[in-house]
Amino acid sequence: MAVRGVLTLVAVLALGTSAQADVWDVGTDNDNDSGSDNEIVHGLNQLHDLAAQSGGTVMDVDWFTFRHPAARSFEIVVEGVTGDVSNGTTSPSVQLIAADGTSVDQDSEPVTNFGVARSLRSYSGLLPGSTPGYYNSFVRISNPACGLTCAANDQYRIRAHETTLMLPRFNNAGTQITVLILQNPTRQAVLATAHALSNTGTLLGSLGFAVQPYSTYVANLSTVLGGALNGQSGSLVIPHTGPYGVLSGKGVALEPSTGFTFDTALSHVAN
């Protein structure tokens, strides 16, 4: 799983009794190259076709512009693939393309062992407050199994979700310490970074870690990073490489002198 800044997507084609043209392919300013105005943001959900272009002589390629914000993570899923597009065994190519419009930063992974639905998951290596604060990239859908024979009814659905988690409060000041707890119920390790921000938004430090398959990760925030967060309070922003909604957890503020605990659930930055 590449740890890059970038990732995810979306859709929208209303179908009547007969297949309609992919609206993103119509007109001079279309989605056939890196000049596409179709932008990936959280919650996008679109239906596209891969009908061959120029009278059936050019395979359709769909491009999505993506400005991946600093210290955030996304998942882009391509699903609902019709039979001729996937041919039952292979799916169209779903790739994360670098800002140069040529270099492939990342290839998609299968959602299940069937292998047709595909997922791109990535998180930004840029720190909160970075300049310019985002990573330029694209998502490209190409090479359907039906090739030049693809028609308007050869379709797929693309969705995008921001997967970033947030802990609105940690407190290692006074008599309290905060413990971060994260659970990974999947069969793959999830890479993550917890960016600790002060109450005024200043970056206090960034803790990188892996949550192993079917396991729980526990970190005492008063002792990590050489004690950099001891005596500090604020919030956490946690981008990661897991699918949307998979990781769960909380911050537990402890009062060692009394034994009292105060739990704060992790939430998604965007719901």
Domain boundaries defined on the chain: 23-162, 165-268
Q: What is the pLDDT of residues 144-199, one digit of tens each?
A: 999 999 999 999 999 999 999 999 999 999 899 999 999 999 999 999 999 999 99
Residue 268 has pLDDT above 90, yes or no: no
* Residue 110 backbone dihedrals phi, psi, to 5 degrees: -70, 140
Indicate the average pLDDT of the chain.
90
Identify the pLDDT of residue 8: 37
Cα(4)–Cα(106) distance, integer angstroms: 9
Identify the pLDDT of residue 83: 86
Q: Quick one: what percent of the chain has pLDDT higher than 90?
A: 81
Contact 155, 48 (CB under 8 A): yes
Tokens linked to 78: 């391509």
Residue 111 has pLDDT above 70, yes or no: yes
For residue 43, the SS3 value is: coil
Cα(119)–Cα(94) distance, integer angstroms: 8
Residue 3 has pLDDT above 90, yes or no: no
Identify the pLDDT of residue 22: 86
CATH architecture group of domain 165-268: Sandwich (2.60)
pTM here is: 0.88
Q: Work out whether the CA dihedral 224, 230, 233, 234 comes out positive or negative.
A: negative
Bridge partner list, 96: 106, 139
* CATH classification code of 23-162: 2.60.120.380
Per-residue pLDDT averaged across 123-134, rounded?
A: 93
